[in-house]
Amino acid sequence: MARFLLFLIPQSLSLFGSSVLQFALIWTIIYRYGSGSMLFLATMAGFIPQIISSYLIGPVLDRKSRKALIIMSDGISAAGALAALVSVLCGRNDAAVLFSLLGIRSLCQGIQVPAYAAVIPQLAPEGCMVRANGLKGLSSALVMLLAPPVAGLLFSSSYGLISSLLLDIVTAVLAMSMLAAQKIPVIDVVSDSSRHDMPALLKDDRTLLSMLAFNAAATFLISPGAFMTPLFIKREYDAVPLMLSLSEMSYSAGMIAGGLAAAAFGDRIGRRHDYACFLLIYGACLFMIGIIHDFPAYMMLNLCIGLSTPFYSALLSSAVQKRTDEKAMGRAMALLSLSTSLSLPLGMVLFGPLADALSIRAVFAISGTAAALLALAGSSHAGDNHPQGNQEKIEGYQKR
């Protein structure tokens, strides 16, 4: 596990700098323009390039060095931040600069996220896949907890966006230097180019297709919980800033506890339960949030949602990784990333207007119920994660 932890440190450092800058960019757009349309454009700039690059990078991850691709994506992102920094220092700090940087960062994230996930099976010890993914979730939760206050401190300083750009550049350079010194095995390249086709991978593995479809549907249904919580607190509880902070803290605390638990016990839990069980918890809590009217009870339910999230992510990622041949891991992780990044904005296309037509409570209750029903239906696929079935699938893939 030591090799994986050495790999996790630079990735967490890079994620921290990127998260701080992401907050600074969004806050700059909100404070400068105060427009819902501009915020929508910023959201699209943060999703569309990632969707495109996630799809295109899959075959490349199975042909080229994944370590080199991670370093390359960090380098491009840092170069974009440096160009934006120079532009700001020269007095140009308009929407074109902000949106261009959001687009570049999104493009790089579409490369880095699946590359990161594809390396995990190469470094995690045998039988510790869920633990490794749990540690990955824990690091993300810690970044989610630390990045907002750091971003707020830098954003409120006299240097504002400039300080966030500098932090992102420094953390990216440090992460690239640390990763460059590590040894990550390079997989053998498959000579048959047709084997690198992502649709062909799904055609060959119907169970993988069902897992990805399940995740896409789950992400679509829980998108209100991911995006609409601050608006829910403001509308339903006439929120003061402290309540918004407490809401974020309760979710982050749940994420950290869930990440720790998944890292410690995930491999044992993964043998008996399916990721669908934790989607059931998420859906049930989201439904309850939609019908209760007590803020402390809301915080407890929000904490439970945070607790279930790392388990769902770790178990689902591990299930995909365990049943996928190493030579196809890049494509599988790219498809998993794509199923998430595409479903979240699509969910808000439906649930955003629905929240105005009905209420956010009704949307939470509806989406939570639908997610719970999906989890109950998906639990029938738990048997696909058994090691024997995985080995038979891999051997069959290698024989084709």
Indicate the pLDDT class of residue 241, thresholds 50, 70 and 90. Answer: low
- The more confident residue out of 382 and 181 is 181
Indicate the burial class of 41 (C-beta count within 10 angstroms; 0-12, 13-18, 19 or more): middle
Tell me the pLDDT tens digit for each residue of 124-153: 887 788 889 989 989 988 988 888 888 888
**CATH assignment of 1-132+151-182, among 2.40.160.50, 3.30.43.10, 1.20.1250.20, 1.20.140.150:** 1.20.1250.20
Indicate the pLDDT class of residue 190, thresholds 50, 70 and 90. Answer: low
Residue reference for tokens 């999703």: 47
Please give the average per-residue pLDDT across 348-374, as a whole number.
91
Span between the terminal Cα atoms of the chain, in Å: 33
Please give the average per-residue pLDDT across 306-315, as a whole number.
92
The pTM score is: 0.82
Instruction: Quote the pLDDT of residue 41.
Output: 84
pLDDT at residue 269 above 80?
no
What are the sequence ranges of the domains in the chain?
1-132+151-182, 190-400
| CATH architecture of the domain with residue range 190-400 | Up-down Bundle (1.20)
Task: Examine domains 1-132+151-182 and 190-400 and report if their fold is the same.
Answer: yes
Least confident of 64-73, 177-186, 232-241, 371-380: 232-241
The torsion region of residue 65 among left (phi > 0), alpha (psi -120 to 50) and beta comes to: beta
pLDDT at residue 370 above 80?
yes
Summary mean pLDDT of the chain: 85
Indicate the pLDDT class of residue 62, thresholds 50, 70 and 90. Answer: confident
pLDDT at residue 307 above 80?
yes
For 289-321, give one letter per residue: b (16+ CB within 10 A) or e. Answer: bbeeeeeeebbebbbbbbbbbbbbbbbbbbbbb
Give just the sign of the alpha carbon dihedral 149, 150, 155, 156. Answer: positive
Please give the average per-residue pLDDT across 192-217, as a whole number.
79
